[in-house]
Chains A and B, each alone.
Chain A
Amino acid sequence: MKNNTDLGKFGTYGGRYVPETLIPALEDLDKWYQRLKVDKSFQHELRGLLLNFAGRSTPLYYANNLTKQLGGPRIYLKREDLLHSGAHKINNTLGQALIAKKMGKTRIIAETGAGQHGVATSIASAAFSLKSEIYMGAKDVERQQLNVFRMNLLNSKVHSVHSGSKTLKDAINEALRDWIANFQDTHYLIGSVMGPHPFPSMVRDFQSVIGTEIKEQMHKLTGKLPDAVIACVGGGSNAIGSFYPFVNEKKVKLIGVEAGGQGIRTGFHAATLSKGRMGIFHGMKSYFLQDENGQISEAHSISAGLDYPGIGPEHANLSDTDRATYPHITDKEAVRAFVQLSKLEGIIPALESAHAIAYIIKNAKNFKKDETVVVTVSGRGDKDLQIVREYLSETEEGIQKKRQTKGIGHT
C-alpha cells in the first residue's frame, strides 16, 4: 500500500519530515490555510493590512541611470524596500499572523538571521496583540545588537541560541523544538519558503503579491511581459514571490541569484543549488550544503539574509526542471552593486538584493537593448551600512576610496 502523498510536493522535493508530534499541528495549520485562502473576508482583511499598514502596492521603477550606464536591457526595479519594516518579509508575517489569530493561537515564535524576519514578525505580532518570541543565533545577536533592540522595542522576547553553529540554522532548530513543546497555543511563523508543508506553499502565496504586481505594472508600463525576472535567493521567498505568477509564462526568464560568498570554490559561500546536494533537513526534502556524511554545513555570505545552507523545495524543482536558473554572485560583486545602485539611482539596496543587482550589472551584455528585465529590490540597505563600511575599509577598493576622500577633504 502506498503511503506517500503528493501533499506539498514540488517534483520530488518538499513534503513533511518532522517529529510525529508536529504532524497534527501541520495538518491543522494546512486545514485552516486551505479554508482561509478562499475565504473572502480573510482575503479582504489581509488586503487592507497590506494596503494601509504595510504600504502596498510598491512601485515598479524604471532605473534610467543604471540602464544607461550598462547599455543593456531596460531595467525595472520592484521596490519592496519601500514597504513598512523595509523589506518584503512583512507580506508573509502579516498573512501568517492573521491566520494564527484566526486559529486562536496566542503566541508567535519565529527564527531570524540578521533580524529582518524577526523584526517583521515582531511588527505583525504587535499589530495583532500576539505574544512574540524570536530565536536568533548567539553569533547573530552579537553582530546585530540594534535589531535585537528593535525587536525588544516591538515587544518581542529574543532568545539567543547557543547550540550548534549559533547562527540561523540553529535558530530554526530551536524554534522547531519550541513548537514541538508548545504547538497547542503557539504558531511558528516561518520566514521563508522552506520547512514542512504547508509552509513552502503558504509563504509563496503570501509573497506572490510581488510577482502579481510586477505583471500588472509591466503591462501598464510596457504593454507586455518582462523578458526576465531576477531576484536574490537564500531560502527563496522574495524570489518565489517574484517568479510564481510567471512560472507558466515560458518566455519569461527566471533568475534566482545565490550568494557566492568568498567564491564557490573556497567553501565559504551559500550557493546551495550550485554546490549542495539533495537532502532532508528542517522538515523538507531539498538541496542542502552538507559534507560527505550528510552533516549540514555552515553557509557563508556577507548578507545575513542569504546565509542559509538550504533552499526552498520549489526552487529545487524549478532548478531541476530548468524553468529557472540559479547563478551566484560573490560578496565583492554584491558590495560593488550596493555602492553602484546607491550612487546611480539614489537607492540603497539590502545586501541580499544587491546580489540580484550585481547579476544584471555583470550580465547586461547578454541581453538585447530592447529587452526588459525586472530586478526585485527585496529590502533596503540601511541595516547593512555598518557591514559595508567595514568591508570597504578592509578591502583595497575601500582603501583607495579612503585616500580619495582624504585628498578631497584636504584640498
Chain B
Amino acid sequence: MKIENSITETFNNLIQKNEKALIGYVVGGYPTLELSMEIIEQLIHSGVDIIEIGVPFSDPMADGPIIQDAFLKTLNSGITPRDCLNLVKTIRERHKETPLLLMTYSNILYSNGLEKFLIQSKDCDIDGFIVPDLNFEEADDYLKITSKLGLATVFLTSPNTSTQRLRRISVLSTGFVYMVSVFGITGSRNKFEKYTFESISRSKAIVSSYRKHLAVGFGISTPKDGQRMIESGADGIIVGSSLINIIKKNENDKSKMMVELDIFVKDLKAICKGPN
C-alpha cells in the first residue's frame, strides 16, 4: 500500500526545483514550550523544509550528550509527550504545508498503548514517525496502525545495513529513509570517513529504486558536511545537535538565538539549493 503524504509531496516539489530537503530536529519543549514553538517557526521561516520534533525520553540510547542534556532538562521542567503533541497541533494551525514528524523512542509509543498514542498523534495532525530503536522486525503492529491512520513511517538505515535489509526498509518507509551517517550516536563530528560517503551512494541507489528518498543525518555541523552528503547522493540532510547547540548557547538571549539559527539554516539551505 502506498501512502501519498505531505513528506513525499515536499520532496517532489523540491525535486522539481532541483533542490534537496533540509530537515531540522528540535527537542519538543526545549528550552521551554513557548520558546520551542518560536524556534520551530524561525526554522520554517529560515528555510527548513521538514521539522522533526524529538519527544524527550529518560534514556535516549541513540543520542549523544547534547540531546541527552536537552531531554533531561526538558523532563525536569515537566514536559510530557502530550505537550509535544499539543506543540505539533499549534504549529500545524499556522503552517499547513510543512511536514511535522515526531522522533520518539519505542517506550513512549508503547507504554500507554501503541494505538492510543498513534490516534492521539493523528488527531494533532502529525505526519509521521521516526523511531530510532524500532526495526521492521518488531514493527508489524506499528505498521498496521500507522498505515490505517495514514501516518508516515520513516525507518533508519546505517552504513552497515545489508542490501537485503535496506530493500525491506525502503519498502516499509513512507516519505523517506533516514540514513545514519556514521557508526555512532547523534552529535557533531570533526570529520567524516570515506565509508560514510560510499554508503550514501550505495544506499541512494537502492532506496531510489523503490522511488523513495534518502535523507542523511547524525553529525552534520557545517554546510561543507552537508554538501559532501548531497554530492554523494543524499536527497536531504538532517541537522539536530548543531541546532540544539545554538539554542543552548543562547538560552538567555532569544534574539541572538534566532539570528544565529537564521544564519545557520540559511547557509545549509543554500547548499541544498545547489550552485545556481
Binding site for B on A (CB under 8 A): 2-5, 7, 15-21, 23-25, 163-164, 169-170, 173, 176-177, 180-184, 277-283, 285, 288, 290, 292-296
The answer on a CB contact under 8 Å between A163 and B162 is no
Q: List 10 A-B contacts (CB under 8 A).
A: A3-B136, A19-B133, A20-B158, A24-B160, A164-B59, A180-B62, A181-B185, A293-B108, A294-B110, A295-B57
Known: A164-B72, A295-B75, A296-B59. A184 touches B183 (CB 8 A): yes
1/0 contact trace for B104-143 toward A, CB 8 Å? Answer: 0111101110000000000000000000111111111001
The answer on a CB contact under 8 Å between A288 and B137 is no
Question: CA–CA, A156 to B82, complex, Å?
Answer: 44
Q: Which of B138, B157, B184 contacts A180 (CB 8 A)?
A: B184
Q: Which residue of A lies closest to B184 (CB)?
A: A181
Q: Which residue of A lies closest to B171 (CB)?
A: A1
Minimum CB–CB distance from B170 to chain A (whole Å) comes to 13
The answer on a CB contact under 8 Å between A280 and B184 is no
| B100: interface (CB < 8 Å) | no
Question: CA–CA, A179 to B139, complex, Å?
Answer: 23
The answer on a CB contact under 8 Å between A15 and B156 is no
Q: Which of A23, A180, A290 contacts B111 (CB 8 A)?
A: A290
| B161: interface (CB < 8 Å) | yes
Question: CA–CA, A25 to B183, complex, Å?
Answer: 11
The answer on a CB contact under 8 Å between B183 and A181 is yes
Question: CA–CA, A17 to B59, complex, Å?
Answer: 13
1/0 contact trace for B161-201 toward A, CB 8 Å? Answer: 11001001100100000001011110000000000000000
The answer on a CB contact under 8 Å between B110 and A20 is no
The answer on a CB contact under 8 Å between A23 and B161 is yes
Q: Which residue of A lies closest to B143 (CB)?
A: A3
The 6 closest A-B pairs by CB, nearest first: A294-B111, A280-B106, A21-B158, A181-B184, A295-B58, A20-B158
Minimum CB–CB distance from B234 to chain A (whole Å) comes to 17
The answer on a CB contact under 8 Å between B138 and A15 is yes
The answer on a CB contact under 8 Å between B59 and A281 is yes
The answer on a CB contact under 8 Å between A17 and B133 is yes
Q: Which residue of B lies closest to A5 (CB)?
A: B137
List of A residues within 8 angstroms of B72 by Cβ: 163-164
The answer on a CB contact under 8 Å between A16 and B58 is no
List of A residues within 8 angstroms of B81 by Cβ: 293-294
| B274: interface (CB < 8 Å) | no
Minimum CB–CB distance from A145 to chain B (whole Å) comes to 25
The answer on a CB contact under 8 Å between B135 and A18 is yes
List of A residues within 8 angstroms of B160 by Cβ: 21, 24-25
List of B residues within 8 angstroms of A18 by Cβ: 61, 133, 135
Question: CA–CA, A55 to B107, complex, Å?
Answer: 41
Minimum CB–CB distance from A383 to chain B (whole Å) comes to 27
The answer on a CB contact under 8 Å between A7 and B59 is no
Question: CA–CA, A359 to B158, complex, Å?
Answer: 48
